[in-house]
Structure 1
Amino acid sequence: MQDKVRLDKWLWAARFFKTRSCAAKAIDAGHVHHHGQRAKCASAPKVGDVLKIQTPHGLFEVQVLQLAGQRGSAEVAKNLYQETAESVMRRERDLFAQKMQPKFDHPDIKGRPTKKWRRQLNQAVADGYGDN
């Protein structure tokens, strides 16, 4: 392992982002916080630092355990950080809430509605099913 590594490289090695350029874009967009402030790509995380990382998969709050500049297997990546218990609970709660959201798509229709499905929608609204 290394003693100093760029933050974007570490995020890529820890598999939070698919590519290093995606990690750099996320940092520049303000989706990564280091020491409670917006991070910069060239900042160097140290062992014990706490990072807040917003990814498409959720908000992660992790503590850096090891530094690595090369991407390895998923098992190696998991050893680079430890996610806080609050972060795990928050992500599970958000995932549960997302699953409980109502789905408004028709199971037989993919993409645009067909002419038949449009007629059925219009008929349902005319019959009063769309009224509150």
Structure 2
Amino acid sequence: MTETTESIRLDKWLWAARFFKTRALAKAAVEGGKVHYNRAKAKPSRTVEAGAELRMQLGWDEKTVIVQAVSDKRRGAPEAQLMYSETEASIEKRAKNAEARKAMNLSSVHTDHRPNKKQRRDIIRFKNINQQDQD
């Protein structure tokens, strides 16, 4: 991997490191407060430096990574993974959250078929009764 010495924008680095599919998505995430640079809210034009800590909210997960290399070229995934390293605490936290989501999915009720007309009416009636009790 070639490391560049010029200044690289945060949104461009996130795109090159393959956290987002497009620079527009990376920019929107940074502007939306989903990316923090060294524990502070950042702007898309923020210059990225090696050794910086990035905390990102990606879907259900939150990743904390340390910037290892700075590059503005988007390359293959194996090369992109060399640009950062995820912290141990972040890996453990994501694993715990994934486990909790799996447990939550197992506890939900899944039926083999959709409710028929009578069952739908019973469900609506039940919901309306419970709504009236809360009012």
**Number of aligned residues:** 121
What is the CA–CA distance in structure 2 between the aligned matches of 1:108 and 1:5, rounded to whole Å? 53
Report the equivalent of 1:103: 108
Report the equivalent of 2:45: 42
Aligned-residue CA RMSD in angstroms?
2.1
Q: Within the alignment, does 1:59 sit opposite 2:69 as a pair?
A: no
Cα distance change, pair 118–47 in 1 and its aligned pair in 2 (3 A) = same
Q: Secondary structure at the match of 1:79?
A: helix
Cα distance change, pair 57–17 in 1 and its aligned pair in 2 (3 A) = farther
TM value normalised by structure 2: 0.80
Report the equivalent of 1:83: 86
Q: Choose the corresponding residue for 1:27, options 20, 27, 30.
A: 30
Aligned-residue offset at 1:103: 2.1
Q: Aligned letter for 1:29?
A: G
| 1:83-112 CA-partner distances (Å, limit 9, x unpaired) | 000000000000000000022442434xxx
Q: Secondary structure at the match of 2:64?
A: strand
Percent of aligned pairs sharing the same letter: 35
Q: Within the alignment, does 1:7 sit opposite 2:15 as a pair?
A: no
Can you give the 5+ residue segments of structure 1 that lack an aligned partner in the other structure?
126-132
What is the CA–CA distance in structure 1 between the aligned matches of 2:71 and 2:84, rounded to whole Å? 11
TM value normalised by structure 1: 0.81
Q: Aligned letter for 2:79?
A: V
